[in-house]
């Protein structure tokens, strides 16, 4: 298997799907001449030309609306937002148009569009550029929300998203673009709506997604040094949520920690905890705990920013609490 970066995995997915289907096109700010703000679209303009790799003005509401309209008449647009922070300007098109068109047309008109770009915090980009918005979109019937954590999942899930007949919110981890991983040779497609067990264990389940996957895996290694085997479940798709995989893991380990980058109130983790405690309450040996970002706008100061983010020590502490171990119990 080839080892590639997360950004190159996304690039491969775009190239392969544009080669496979002439109705697929890419549109957004700086996707063409500049080759993408994060170089995900590198080389695509030269290969496919300006009709299929379309540079737009800085008008998220406008080009998101163009994408919705293009999808309604049969094309398969991939709309890149430079960051999901800026996509707030286009939320009307996603929530009131893309998500509802199939329902409001009685199933006659679909919106097979992918809205993608980086989300979450990077390093010292402060409050307006460090937000995790997945719970916003997962709240909306009609939208699917996908958040890959590895290069292999980034490629496979993006290919599935492009082929989907439903609108997809595809949020890439801003700090993941340079991470590397193996990708299977040949056609590689990962089905939407299926979680993945990234590490097996029998003592406690850690449910996570996107950037918290690598943090959870680091926490699992630290716990292993203490004799605790943690199972790490990567949701991959936030909506639809793969409850079966999560419940199966927790039913075996009897303990669970849910980690996410976003804020605690009404977050993705709240839905996961509700699902666990509603469906398999009697299998739990401890309350499910959540590890989230701090309930504050992201600080600019690097020390405060570090304190506001999820890290492996916070996950280890939560795991020790549900295991009733040591000083963290």
Q: Give the pLDDT score at 289.
A: 98
- What pLDDT was estimated at residue 8? 98
- Kindly give the confidence (pLDDT) of every residue in the chain, 329 residues in length, as a single tens digit, with 9 standing for 90 and above: 899 999 999 999 999 999 999 999 999 999 999 999 999 999 999 999 999 999 999 999 999 999 999 999 999 999 999 999 999 999 999 999 999 999 999 999 999 999 999 999 999 999 999 999 999 999 999 999 999 999 999 999 999 999 999 999 999 999 999 999 999 999 999 999 999 999 999 999 999 999 999 999 999 999 999 999 999 999 999 999 999 999 999 999 999 999 999 999 999 999 999 999 999 999 999 999 999 999 999 999 999 999 999 999 999 999 999 999 975 55
Q: For the domain bounded by 196-321, which CATH number is listed?
A: 3.40.50.920
Which H or E run includes 5? strand 2-5
β-pairing verdict for 53-55 and 230-234: unpaired
Structural contact between residues 303 and 273, judged by C-beta atoms closer than 8 angstroms: no
Q: Quick one: three-class SS letters along 172-191?
A: EECCCCCCEEEECCCCCCCC
Name residue 117's beta-bridge partners: 171
Check residue 149 and give its pLDDT.
98
| Boundaries of every domain in the chain | 2-183, 196-321
β-pair type (204-208, 180-183): unpaired
Question: pTM value?
Answer: 0.96
Q: What pairs with residue 24 in β-bridges?
A: 76
pLDDT in the model for residue 1: 84
- Which residues does the annotation mark as catalytic? 60, 129
Residue 14: what pLDDT? 98
Say which CATH class 2-183 falls into.
Answer: alpha beta
pLDDT confidence of residue 327: 57
2-183 and 196-321 have identical folds: yes
Strand 24-28 and strand 76-80: the pairing is parallel
């Amino acid at each position: 298997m080839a080892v590639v970066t997360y950004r190159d995995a996304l690039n491969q997915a775009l190239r392969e799907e544009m080669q496979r289907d002439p109705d697929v096109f890419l549109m957004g700010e700086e996707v063409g001449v500049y080759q993408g703000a994060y170089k995900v679209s590198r080389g695509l303009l030269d290969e496919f030309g300006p009709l299929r790799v379309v540079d737009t003005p800085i008008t998220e509401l406008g080009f998101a609306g163009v994408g919705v309209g293009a999808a309604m008449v049969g094309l398969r647009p991939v709309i890149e937002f430079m960051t999901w922070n800026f996509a707030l300007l286009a939320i009307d098109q996603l929530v009131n148009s893309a998500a509802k068109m199939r329902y409001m047309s009685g199933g006659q008109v679909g919106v097979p569009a992918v809205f993608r770009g980086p989300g979450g915090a990077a390093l010292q980009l402060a409050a307006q550029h460090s937000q995790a918005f997945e719970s916003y979109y997962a709240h909306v019937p009609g939208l699917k929300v996908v958040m890959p954590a590895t290069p292999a999942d980034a490629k496979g899930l993006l290919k599935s998203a492009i082929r989907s007949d439903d609108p997809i919110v595809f949020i890439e981890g801003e700090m993941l673009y340079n991470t590397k991983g193996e990708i299977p040779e040949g056609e590689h497609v990962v089905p939407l709506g299926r979680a993945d067990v990234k590490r097996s264990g029998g003592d406690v389940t850690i449910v996570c997604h996107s950037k918290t996957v690598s943090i959870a895996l680091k926490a699992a290694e630290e716990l292993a040094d203490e004799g605790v085997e943690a199972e790490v479940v990567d949701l991959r798709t936030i909506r639809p949520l793969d409850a079966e995989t999560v419940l199966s893991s927790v039913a075996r380990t009897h303990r669970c920690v849910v980690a996410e980058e976003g804020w605690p109130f009404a977050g993705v983790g709240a839905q996961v905890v509700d699902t666990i405690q509603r469906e398999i309450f009697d299998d739990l040996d401890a309350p499910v705990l959540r590890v989230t970002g701090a309930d504050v706008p992201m600080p600019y100061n690097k020390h405060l920013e570090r304190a506001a983010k999820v890290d492996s020590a916070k996950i280890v502490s939560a795991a020790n609490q549900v295991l009733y171990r040591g000083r963290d119990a």
